[in-house]
Chain A
Amino acid sequence: MSAAVALLLAATLVAVPDVSLDNLDAEVARQLGEVRRRLDTAGTGAAGAAAFAEAGRHYHAYEMHAPAEACYRNAALLAPEDFRWPYLLGVLQQDAGRLEEALASIGRALAAPERYYPGLLRMATLQIALGRPQDAERWLAPARVHAPGDPALLAREGELALATARPQAAAAALEAALRREPRATRLHYLLGMAYRALGRREDALRELARAGPVGVRARDPLLEGVRALRVGESSFMIEGHQALRAGDTDAAAVAFARAAEASGGTSLPALLNLAAAEARRGRRDEAIARLGEARRLDPHHDAVLFNLGVLLAQAGRAAEAEPLLAAVVERAPSDAEARAEWGLALVALGRLDDAQRALAPVPLDAARCERLREALAARAKGARDPAAAALAGRARACGAPPVQR
């Protein structure tokens, strides 16, 4: 690059807004501080492009949109042949709700020979959101060639069909997507809407009852690479909670595990949340192990003791569960949840008098009533003492649906 060109490029670069490092986790502050130092010494050649790209990815990882955008713009200017930076710039713009800008940026990225598949789907999504179905179809056509049968593609086709009043086509695409990705509970809503439009009300109601928050997206290695740059317990905790809210317990477990690791195993919230995510994934033993670690950090933490007690009881280890739950009840006698679980553990241990006393002041919802019935049924036949009779009566009488708080 000639000196004149370098000067011209330097003049057209966008200033990267500085970000305060106050109030950040130490690891994050250190990481971003280093990024900034490298950026400040970057030139306008290939090294400069790399520095801007790297800084953009780091800022992007923490959703610091303004500096990330500036960095990506500069990287794209210095390395115009690299589709990654306009693509990631477009992702940021899409997240910020600036759809037309996102279309321009991602469109520029897709002009490169790679035709990055997640970008094709993003373009279709953007065009659907902007009410331009024909333009959406233009981007779905090459995506079909690239990954026919991909559930993310099928989902976009279903959305597009719904948006253009073609419920039959929408239903077909969404049914196919759900066959390939049954965890994508959000698609049940779209399928429900398609059935509704077709006049199939009962089918629609069935699908709507199964609707949930989990969407389906194409794997996006570029974005995954950005997220992998995060360090610090807080970042992973946030990521984990976001994943939990989206119904993605697998991703949540990964994020909480990284949070626990970032803390050197000393973060009780990370372990507690990791255990919750593992339990939701059906990995009870893993969850018990993580709660055991949390208990070593704080032997008297109510949430740890309660969760561990519940999981141990579910695993048939009532003798281990009972003292944990008893400890929670002792400290918080009005905690109806803890008292109910403690009572059920006592039933499982055959301590029916104690169980009767424990359960007396608390309402039992339908699920706990069922567990009480099962625990009583599992006891030796003929044990017809008064406490057993009283509990059996309780089990027969209760079962109202849980009251919403």
Chain B
Amino acid sequence: MPGKALSLLACLTAGLHAAQGPSSDAAGPPLPFADATLAAGLHFVYRNGMSGALHLPEIVGGGAALFDFDNDGDLDLYLVQGGTFGPRGEPRSGPEHDRLWLNVAPVGGGDPRFEDVSAKAGLSPAGYGMGVAAGDYDNDGWTDLLVTGYGSMRLLRNRDGARLEDVTARAGVGDGGWSVSAAFADLDADGWLDLFVARYVEYAPVRCRLPSSRPDYCGPQSFPPQPDRVFRNRGDGTFEEATARWLGPQRAGPGLGVAAADLDGHGRTDVYVANDGAENHLWLNRDGPALREEGLIGGVALSGTGAAQAGMGVDAGDVDGDLDLDLIVTNLTGEGSTLYVNQGGGQFEDGTAASGLGPASLPLTGFGARLLDYDNDGWLDLAVANGAVHLSDPAPGSTDPFPLAQPRLLYRNAGRGRFADVTRAVGEAFTHPEVGRGLAAGDVDNDGDVDLVVVNVEGPARLLLNRVGQDQPWVGLRLLTRDGRRDALGARVLLRRRRAADLLRHAHADGSYASAGDPRLLFGLGGGADVAGLDVRWPDGAVETFDPPALRRYTALRQGGGRPASARSTP
């Protein structure tokens, strides 16, 4: 409802005061993240339906969405549930279903508390879920969800923050294939969010083995890849299939991760797809409406040594402070995470070796990945959820049926994209091994730093609260479309500082793996809080300048509410 959306806008403009979180104790500085799952009342396990048949979908889901379901100014949580299998490996609903958790902490701060409102929201078992994307596709002021899955895909319309209504058939976005990650993005800049769906493979049970001949999960190479799909939003609550028109004759790839952002600086939203064991795709959006795939010449299809990697999670962000968006992709054990450094004009270079990301990530298999400034020092750090995909040869008598657990990773950006592994300093919240997949990021307690939700396969989902970022000065922004109804996904903001380097951030809910995050922007100002102003480039290409916002609170910026910017300042 517009009325509710406007009340939220007023609330945001007035600002949300930072919660007074614990900053230190006698034992020393606080750990950067604390596991607040139980304290917040969350309990959820992603069930993969494993029965010993080693079906590939068992190791692929699931995901989470952090989004404001009821427009009350804080982030709620949607968790996708898996399913079971029929005799030929076909997907079936399991006994449990997706869960919607309402954040019932008092607006204005305090540790988050979640309440399960799944039944009231109308959720019931519906196929074998994988991931989720978030965006207000009908511009009604309420954020909707697209739930991806093995054998199905569902568009859930948010009805006034009370129910999630399955409108898949009516909206024309059904898909019987296997999708994991998707992104809402206004690809044709018409003011309506289109939909890009990365699809994985055509699965049918086959038997694969470890080199020792022991049964193992198959990799994607054992199955034909499925082509990605793109749906154009007609603006009337329905979508039209635009795959052939916008993507042309595409080379199908086993897609797992999607990030939509202006990657070449041309002012339109591009799409990057991380493919598992095949060339990644870079869909550049230049001349409209068709997108052009330029992953190879862009230097982001393969590793720096020319090898196709097992792309899973992906995120875009300016890690080196040169005011363009770089890309991070998580991969298989032995491949490590790959950092593609933006050189401008849609060209990237593999900067992994110099970044320091390699050594810690190489022994692990990365899935959810998020570039976030956890310590609010102005540099984007990196959090990764890990979990193996291949069984190992067990010791005699071993009883673990799913021995794929691995620790998470946290890297601190020491400046200009040079990363240091600080996982051990974070403690149990990161070192405890689990089979990590989805990773959603957002300021759950509205205290000015980025918290995390991790989805584990056959293990509890985790809420990891950031305990250190709020100690630094920060600016929070919510970017809204002209009518103030929805988040302006794809907008970029240049925060200008007088005595420190400018900062670039972009509004996005996509990226990571199978998950959707907080579309609000957080600027950590630990490196200098003397803000001179903001330049915003909106998804339609318009650029506006805004006065410096208040520190330590969220401010809503609506398109049309600023001053036309000079040609110089185009973020």
Contacts and interface: CB of A to CB of B under 8 A. Distances in A.
Interface of A: 17-25, 28, 61-65, 95-100, 128-131, 159, 162-163, 186-190, 192-193, 196, 201, 204-205, 208, 211, 213, 215, 230, 232, 234-235, 237-239, 241, 245, 401, 404-405
B363 to A, nearest CB: 4
B212 A98 contact: no
A195 to B, nearest CB: 10
A24 B347 contact: no
B563 interface: no
24 contacts: A20-B395, A21-B396, A24-B212, A24-B213, A65-B392, A96-B363, A98-B363, A128-B353, A130-B353, A131-B354, A131-B356, A159-B305, A186-B306, A189-B296, A190-B305, A193-B299, A201-B297, A208-B297, A213-B307, A215-B307, A235-B211, A241-B221, A245-B221, A405-B227
Interface string B467-489: 00000000000000000000000
Contact of B249 (A25, A95, A129, A404): A404
Interface string B224-246: 10110000000000000000000
B210 A162 contact: no
B3 interface: no
B122 interface: no
Contacts of A163: 304, 353
Contacts of B227: 404-405
B431 interface: no
Contacts of A96: 333-334, 362-363
A189 B302 contact: yes
B89 interface: no
A227 B511 CA distance: 40
Interface in B197-226: 202, 209-215, 221, 224, 226
Contacts of B336: 97
Interface residues of B, number: 49
6 nearest CB pairs, A to B? A97-B362, A189-B306, A234-B213, A131-B353, A62-B212, A25-B213
B297 A238 contact: no
A63 B210 contact: yes
Given A25-B213, A62-B212, A215-B306, 18 more contacts: A20-B393, A24-B213, A62-B211, A63-B210, A97-B362, A97-B364, A130-B359, A186-B305, A188-B306, A189-B306, A196-B347, A235-B213, A238-B209, A238-B210, A238-B211, A245-B277, A404-B251, A405-B252
Interface of B: 202, 209-215, 221, 224, 226-227, 249-252, 277, 296-297, 299, 302, 304-308, 333-336, 347, 349, 353-356, 358-359, 361-364, 392-398
B362 A98 contact: yes
A196 B215 contact: no
Contacts of A237: 209
A204 B251 CA distance: 20
Given A97-B334, A211-B296, A245-B221, A190 B306 contact: yes
Given A18-B395, A20-B397, A196 B297 contact: yes
A185 B553 CA distance: 54
Contacts of A238: 209-211, 213
B288 to A, nearest CB: 23
Contacts of B353: 128-131, 163
A190 B299 CA distance: 10
Contacts of B308: 213
Given A20-B395, A24-B214, A186 B347 contact: no
Contacts of A64: 212, 393
A86 B251 CA distance: 43
Given A404-B227, A404-B251, A97 B363 contact: yes
A405 B226 contact: yes
Nearest to A212: B306
Contacts of B296: 189, 192, 208, 211
Contacts of B362: 96-99
Contacts of A190: 305-306
A294 to B, nearest CB: 18
B338 to A, nearest CB: 11
Given A17-B395, A235-B213, A187 B250 contact: no
Contacts of A193: 299, 304, 349
Given A18-B396, A20-B393, A234 B221 contact: no
Given A28-B212, A238-B209, A404-B250, A129 B221 contact: no
Contacts of A24: 212-214
B396 A19 contact: yes
B19 to A, nearest CB: 39
A401 B252 CA distance: 14
A312 B520 CA distance: 63
B236 to A, nearest CB: 30
Contacts of B358: 99, 129-131
Contacts of B394: 19-20
A162 B363 contact: no
Contacts of B249: 401, 404
B61 to A, nearest CB: 23
A20 B305 contact: no
A137 to B, nearest CB: 14
Contacts of A131: 353-356, 358
